[in-house]
């Protein structure tokens, strides 16, 4: 993780901020957001603009460049990484620390009166634009759209946009045809009095059409836009070279647009997919808007460049209906998630059995070579497609970097003197996994064991709680932290994120954090979330224990006001290392929970290991799942 020299980049950027071939009038600040034109979290190389200007490569962060300052906002997962990657031109702004100003407050205070702040309106969502614009305005500044991206203009060796083919995902994996999903979407549009819906989030489009791509590493999505009309048309804007014959068949595509529109006018109540080039979305949307009999639905999570095309009184800016639909897994999707997790657990059992032996034998295994080996075990599993994110394979002090990714400069051998934290996941055609285990191959210190036990207590407290359905996820966050808070410890990240079905490993709209997820519809049956408290001692070690869980109905002895109490059930079945646990700190119920969990690990994963003839993995699983109590 090297520090990037940004003096020249900033100099060129600042010069273009005054260049009227780019801006109508000089701007005093330029914002470089993290996302792409689809507001993706993970990015194609060609969209890594913030990393290019600042050097900071984490998945979340916003750069703001003024004539004199360059600041980078990121959250607690990335403080250490950002400190290492940013050069002296940059100031790190630590989000989540009470004294850190927001970007708006900082700009308002720092800029000379009457300043202009520029941003690419494709890279900024409406819900980012509106409050920032208001803050700036009330402090005498103005937020202006800069249509030509200034970073792209100075990015000499910018990679080309990705262009991989798209694959259909069969009904045996999706559980529902894309036509039925589009019909559900149209129902939601009717309920909101909308006749046109623009989808810009890549995972929304992939889920809705039962298609998967590989334009963005780890996220099986493809660059596209989609427009749904209540007459049953779904217009897909995508590079035609990505659309294979199997995709055309899957979508029942007609030979050309004119023919499709002809068929559409005849079939009326049926759902019909129509293909357009990716670039045509603006023109098509602009032509459709004046013709709409009802409102136009463009989520305020979409680029402000789109919502700016629509008058406020005919705009519905609610969250896309697909977001809520894909958060509730259908029975086929859930069965796939469960199966993917058993395969994933088998791979992890083989990995940890192998790693333990290598370390014991004093053979050199580094963070990177371990991650590669783990990927190899995953690749042996059926329907494996790839990893779901960069493997966080981290030893000793590297494990304190919450979203660490080993690089050639930071790579360390895994040994029997330090904690090893491994956070990894796979994409399988039947589901997405994300699991963290923290282990020690020698003798952990009493403090390490105490911290691990407290993290585990929090993890169990959340896993076993009952809650009335539809409560917001943030309500439960403290359950995962209480055992740490009791002794003055904490972790600077959320406790839980939603997970897609063979889609993005971070999927909204719900989550569990001290922060409120603004679009959280309330925790409901058949959602899939992570449960991942941690503890990080900077420069020394890191601990995280992560399972994915599904929400299931609970059956408590009372049923107050028919609140439909729910609880969590584990999807992840990988043993927890008992050496790290101080059993005396556990209650009787906690010991029983761990033993029961380990019994489930055996029952679910051992048969697959046997079938695959993975003796070492099986032996490891059996040994690691001996009862604590």
Interface with a copy of itself (CB under 8 A): 98, 137-138, 312-313, 315-316, 465-468, 470-472, 474-479, 482, 484-490, 492, 514, 516, 522, 554, 556-561, 563, 565
CB 233 within 8 A of CB 264: yes
Minimum distance from CB of 434 to a copy of itself (Å)?
A: 24
The alpha carbon of residue 343 and the mean position of all alpha carbons in its chain are separated, in whole angstroms, by 22
CB of 454 to a copy of itself, least distance (A): 10
Q: How far is the CB of 443 from a copy of itself (least distance, A)?
A: 22
Residue number with CB closer to a copy of itself (335 or 492): 492
Whether the Cβ atoms of residue 550 and residue 530 lie closer than 8 Å to each other? no
**Least separation, in Å, of the C-beta of 495 and a copy of itself?**
11
- Least Cβ distance, residue 471 to a copy of itself (angstroms): 6
CA–CA distance, 57 with 409 (Å, rounded to integer): 15
Q: How far apart are the first and last CA of the chain?
A: 43
Helix or strand run (H / E) with residue 72: strand 70-74
Of 94 and 248, the one with the shorter C-beta distance to a copy of itself is 94
CB of 109 to a copy of itself, least distance (A): 10
| Strand locations in 469-560 (E) | 496-498, 507-512, 528-531, 534-537, 541-544, 547-553
Q: Tell the smallest beta-carbon distance from residue 68 to a copy of itself (Å).
A: 22
Question: Taking the complex as a whole, how short is the minimal distance between the CB of residue 205 and a copy of itself, in angstroms?
Answer: 26
Question: Quick check: helix, strand or coil at residue 176?
Answer: coil
**For a copy of itself, the closer CB: 165 or 325:** 325
d(C-alpha 341, C-alpha 546), whole Å = 13
Q: Minimal CA–CA distance to 290: which of 273, 308, 311? A: 311
Minimum distance of a copy of itself from residue 281's CB (angstroms): 24
Give the whole-angstrom CA distance, residue 297 versus residue 24: 30
Nearest-approach distance from CB 246 to a copy of itself, in angstroms? 42
Strand 29-32 with 116-119, pairing: parallel
Sheet hosting strand 528-531, strand order edge to edge: 467-468, 565-570, 547-553, 528-531, 496-498, 507-512
Q: Tell me whether residue 76 or residue 500 sits nearer to a copy of itself (CB atom).
A: 76
- Our CB check for a copy of itself shows the closer of 12 and 563 to be 563
Kindly state the smallest distance separating residue 544's Cβ from a copy of itself, in Å.
Answer: 15
Question: Where do the DSSP E strands lie in 396-493?
Answer: 419-424, 426-428, 431-432, 435-440, 467-468
* Residue whose CB is less far from a copy of itself, 170 or 553: 553
According to DSSP, the residues that pair with 530 across neighbouring strands are: 548
Q: How far is the CB of 557 from a copy of itself (least distance, A)?
A: 5
User: What tokens were used for 555?
Assistant: 């059956």
Measuring CA to CA, which residue among 570, 618, 89 is closest to residue 354? 618
Residue nearer to a copy of itself on the CB measure, 189 or 272: 189
414 or 479: CB nearest a copy of itself: 479
**Six-digit token string for 491:** 């972790």
In sequence order, what DSSP letters do the residues of 211-268 get, joined into one string? EE--SBTTB---S-EEEEETTSEEEEE--GGG--HHHHHHTT--SSHHHHHHHHHHH-
Instruction: Estimate to the nearest angstrom the gap between the alpha carbon of 575 and the chain centroid.
Output: 25
| CB of residue 467 to a copy of itself, shortest distance in Å | 6
Buried b (16+ CB within 10 A) or exposed e, 514-523: eeebebbbeb
Q: Are 285 and 198 in contact (CB under 8 A)?
A: yes
Spatial contact of 378 and 521, defined as CB atoms under 8 Å apart: no
CA distance 499 to 494: 14
Cβ nearer to a copy of itself, comparing 283 with 553: 553
158 or 482: CB nearest a copy of itself = 482
Partners of residue 497 on adjacent β-strands: 511
| 255/487 with CB nearer a copy of itself | 487
CA 540 vs. chain centroid, Å, equals 27
* The token pair that represents 481 in the structure block: 């932290």
Q: Which of 212, 547, 242 is nearest to 383 (CA)?
A: 212
CB of 482 to a copy of itself, least distance (A): 7
Nearest of 202, 186, 183 to residue 194 by alpha carbon: 186
- The torsion angles phi and psi of 427, rounded to 5 degrees, stand at -105, 120
In the bound state with a copy of itself, the residue whose beta carbon lies nearer, of 521 and 575, is 521
Distance CA 449, CA 444 (A): 6
- The smaller minimum CB distance to a copy of itself, of residues 36 and 590, is found at 590
Of 412 and 482, CB closest to a copy of itself: 482
| Beta carbon of residue 140, minimum distance to a copy of itself (angstroms, whole number) | 8
State how far Cα 22 lies from the chain centre.
Answer: 33
Query: Which of 142/612 has CB closer to a copy of itself?
Result: 142
CB of 395 to a copy of itself, least distance (A): 22
Exposed/middle/buried for residue 83 (C-beta within 10 Å: 0-12, 13-18, 19+) = middle
Cβ atoms 502, 431 nearer than 8 A: yes
For a copy of itself, give the closer residue by CB, 290 or 488. 488
């Amino acid at each position: 993780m090297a520090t990037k020299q940004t003096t020249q980049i900033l100099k060129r950027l600042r010069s273009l901020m005054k260049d009227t071939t780019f801006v109508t009038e000089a701007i005093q600040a330029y914002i470089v957001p993290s996302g792409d034109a689809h507001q993706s979290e993970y990015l194609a190389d060609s969209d890594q603009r913030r990393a290019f200007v600042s050097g900071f490569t984490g998945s979340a962060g916003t750069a703001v460049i003024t004539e004199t300052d360059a600041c980078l906002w990121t959250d607690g997962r990335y403080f250490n990484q950002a400190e290492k990657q940013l050069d002296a031109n940059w100031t790190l702004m630590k989000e989540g620390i009470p004294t850190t100003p927001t970007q708006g407050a900082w700009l308002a205070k720092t800029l000379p009166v009457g300043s202009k702040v520029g941003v690419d309106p494709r890279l900024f969502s409406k819900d980012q634009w509106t409050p920032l614009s208001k803050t700036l305005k009330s402090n005498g500044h103005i937020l202006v759209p800069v249509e030509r991206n200034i970073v792209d203009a100075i990015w000499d060796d910018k990679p080309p946009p990705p262009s991989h083919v798209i694959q259909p995902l069969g009904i045996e994996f999706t559980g529902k045809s894309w036509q039925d999903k589009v019909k559900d979407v149209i129902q939601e549009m009717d309920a909101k009095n909308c006749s046109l819906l623009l989808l810009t989030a890549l995972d929304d489009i992939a889920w809705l059409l039962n298609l998967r791509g590989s334009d963005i590493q780890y996220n099986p999505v493809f660059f596209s836009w989609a427009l749904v009309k209540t007459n049953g048309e779904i217009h897909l804007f995508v590079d035609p070279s990505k659309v294979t014959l199997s995709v055309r068949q899957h979508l029942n595509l007609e030979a050309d647009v004119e023919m499709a529109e002809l068929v559409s006018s005849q079939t009326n109540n049926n759902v019909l997919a129509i293909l357009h080039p990716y670039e045509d979305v603006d023109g098509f949307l602009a032509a459709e808007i004046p013709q709409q009999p009802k409102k136009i639905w463009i989520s305020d999570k979409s680029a402000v460049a789109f919502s700016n095309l629509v008058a406020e009184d005919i705009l519905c800016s609610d969250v896309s209906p697909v977001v809520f639909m894909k958060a509730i897994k259908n029975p086929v999707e859930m069965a796939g998630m469960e199966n993917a997790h058993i395969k994933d657990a088998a791979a992890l059992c083989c990995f940890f059995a192998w790693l333990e032996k290598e370390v014991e034998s004093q053979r050199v295994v580094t963070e990177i070579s371990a991650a590669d080996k783990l990927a190899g075990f995953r690749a042996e599993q059926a329907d494996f497609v790839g990893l779901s994110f960069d493997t966080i394979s981290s030893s000793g002090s590297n494990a304190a970097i919450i979203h660490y990714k080993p690089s050639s400069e930071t790579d360390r051998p895994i040994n029997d003197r330090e904690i090893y934290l491994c956070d990894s996941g796979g994409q399988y055609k039947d589901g997405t996994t994300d699991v963290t285990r923290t282990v020690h191959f020698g003798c952990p210190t009493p403090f390490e064991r105490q911290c691990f036990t407290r993290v585990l207590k929090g993890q169990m407290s959340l896993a076993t709680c009952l809650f009335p359905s539809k409560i917001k996820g943030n309500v439960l966050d403290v359950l995962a932290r209480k055992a740490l808070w009791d002794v003055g410890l904490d972790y600077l990240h959320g406790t839980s994120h939603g997970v897609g079905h063979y889609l993005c490993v971070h999927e909204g709209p719900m989550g569990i954090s001290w922060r409120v997820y603004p679009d959280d519809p309330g925790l409901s049956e058949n959602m899939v979330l992570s449960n991942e408290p941690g503890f990080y001692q900077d420069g020394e070690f890191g601990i995280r224990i992560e399972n994915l869980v599904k929400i299931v109905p609970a059956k408590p002895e009372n049923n107050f006001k028919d609140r439909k109490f729910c609880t969590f059930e584990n999807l992840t079945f990988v043993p927890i290392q008992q050496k790290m646990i101080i059993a005396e700190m556990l209650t009787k119920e906690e010991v029983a929970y761990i033993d029961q969990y380990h019994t489930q690990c055996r029952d679910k994963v051992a048969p697959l290991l046997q079938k695959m003839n993975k003796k070492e993995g099986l032996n490891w699983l059996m040994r690691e799942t001996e009862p604590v109590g």
